[in-house]
Structure 1
Amino acid sequence: MRNWEEVRAKGKVNYIIKYGVIGWGMITGLAVGIFTEINALFEQEYSRFLTSLSISLAVFSVFGILFGQIMWYFGEKKYNYNKKNS
């Protein structure tokens, strides 16, 4: 519970950026972009790596905002439940 209090103190936007956009969105986007390029090489399709990677990073960063919002909601719900029942 103390850990979530520390996370809460830094704010919701900080959490969403750190865990949603960077922690999930960028990492997932990077992995998907690289996987897509490796797959394209095996299929003899030559595409532009930076374009594909940029699109993946952008798309998954946007979804990272949603992911961060959802994780914040569940963190708050668990925190409030534990605080109420302590």
Structure 2
Amino acid sequence: MSNLKATKIARLQKLIAKGKWHFVIVYGVLGWGISTALLVTLIQTYISSSSFIDQISTALVIYPVSGLAFGFVLWMMANNQYNKLVSGSNEL
């Protein structure tokens, strides 16, 4: 097994060991949802005449909830990649 492959397996094992909900909350809701909400709100506030507070209140509901779905998709992708690496498949 190559060193790069062993490193990827170890990294994925650490992520998977923390559990699905930890992964979904950290990478989906916090990592993608909150950061996207802030970025989109800043852009919308700059482009439109609406206030930051009005925009952020809506964005902090929509994007973190969408982040749940995004996190689950990332979780499935991480598990699939881990399973392929462990089984020795070269389809990466």
Q: So what's the TM-score if we normalise by structure 1? A: 0.88
| Alpha-carbon distance, 1:51 to partner | 2.1
CA–CA distance in 2 between the matches of 1:59 and 1:6?
A: 29
Q: So what's the TM-score if we normalise by structure 2? A: 0.82
CA–CA distance in 2 between the matches of 1:23 and 1:30?
A: 11
Alignment map for 1:46-65 (pairs within 5 Å): 47-65=50-68
User: In the alignment, which residue of structure 2 is the partner of 1:79?
Assistant: 82
Amino acid at match of 1:63: S
Q: Select 1:22's aligned residue among 22, 27, 30.
A: 30
State the identity %: 32
Amino acid at match of 2:73: I
- Cα shift readout 1:20-71 (whole Å, capped 9, x = no counterpart): 001001000110011111111xxxx3x3321211211211101110110000
Q: Which has the higher contact order (CA 8 A, sep 6+)?
A: 1
Matched residues, number: 81
CA contact (8 A) 1:22 1:61 kept: yes
CA–CA distance in 2 between the matches of 1:48 and 1:38?
A: 9
Q: Does 1:38 align with 2:41?
A: no
Alignment RMSD, CA only? 1.2
User: In the alignment, which residue of structure 2 is the partner of 1:5?
Assistant: 13
Unaligned runs of 5+ in 2: 1-8
